[in-house]
């Protein structure tokens, strides 16, 4: 413990984030206090307050650390299969203890826009946004989507709709039928029926399997 107080910079910050992540995973957002995190990290509260203004800001940083695990992209051979698998993975994560932490932090953040912005799902972060764009790029190369659909806002649509189910409706888990509806009734018509002028054309034929 005495040696831990000599840590500086990135090493100390890593210890603090690790301690905060442990509290979140073990006991949830209500148990996250600056006192407890400082105790676990072997430092004092001043070290925490120099980096984060309050426990919620620290919790957001710790959550983002927990949620940063990379996963391999699905490759089912079809845009529908790939995007539905991505949405199912996200739904599984959000209905897990990670999702409970996220919902608790959203409630704790209240109306603080900066913190709420940081709590966007990792799929909205650069690396995850790139993953969705990669799936769209594959579809364009196969002729499974219009080239004009290869746009960040288009790629983020399924995750935004899924996130809305959790944040606005407060549900603990989203039924698979809703995930299928998001892909079949919104996303696929958007990317496959999108013309060069940005309008959405009628989509022919059923896509459900």
Backbone phi, psi, residue 129, to 5° = -60, -40
Alpha helices in 28-175 (DSSP H): 34-41, 45-49, 55-66, 79-94, 97-109, 113-118, 126-142, 152-155, 157-169
pLDDT of residue 69: 52
Return the bridge partners of 75, or none.
none
Q: What is the dihedral of CA 55, 127, 12, 23, to 10 degrees?
A: 40
Cα-based angle 21, 118, 87 (whole degrees, multiple of 5): 85
For the chain, 209 residues long, give each residue's pLDDT as a single digit of tens. 334 446 678 899 999 999 999 998 888 888 999 999 999 999 999 999 999 999 999 998 888 777 665 557 899 999 999 999 999 988 887 787 777 787 778 778 776 777 766 666 544 456 677 888 999 999 999 998 989 999 999 999 998 899 888 877 777 789 999 999 999 999 999 998 744 444 334 333 334 44
């Amino acid at each position: 413990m005495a040696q831990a107080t000599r840590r500086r910079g990135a090493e100390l910050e890593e210890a603090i984030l690790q301690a905060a992540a442990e509290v979140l995973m073990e006991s949830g957002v209500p148990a996250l206090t600056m006192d407890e995190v400082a105790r676990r990290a072997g430092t004092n509260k001043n070290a925490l307050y120099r980096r984060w203004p309050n426990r919620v800001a620290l919790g957001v940083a710790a959550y983002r650390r927990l949620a940063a695990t990379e996963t391999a992209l699905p490759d089912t051979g079809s845009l529908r299969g790939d995007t539905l698998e991505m949405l199912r993975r996200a739904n599984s994560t959000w209905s897990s203890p990670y999702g409970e932490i996220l919902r608790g932090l959203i409630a704790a953040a209240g109306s603080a826009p900066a913190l709420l912005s940081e709590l966007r799902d990792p799929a909205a972060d650069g690396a995850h946004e790139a993953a969705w764009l990669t799936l769209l790029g594959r579809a364009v190369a196969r002729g499974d989507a219009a080239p004009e659909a290869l746009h960040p806002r288009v790629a983020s649509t399924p995750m935004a709709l899924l996130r809305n189910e959790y944040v606005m409706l407060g549900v603990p888990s989203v039924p698979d039928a809703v995930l299928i509806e998001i892909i079949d009734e919104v996303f696929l018509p958007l990317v496959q029926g999108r013309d060069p002028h940005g309008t959405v054309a009628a989509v022919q034929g059923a896509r459900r399997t």
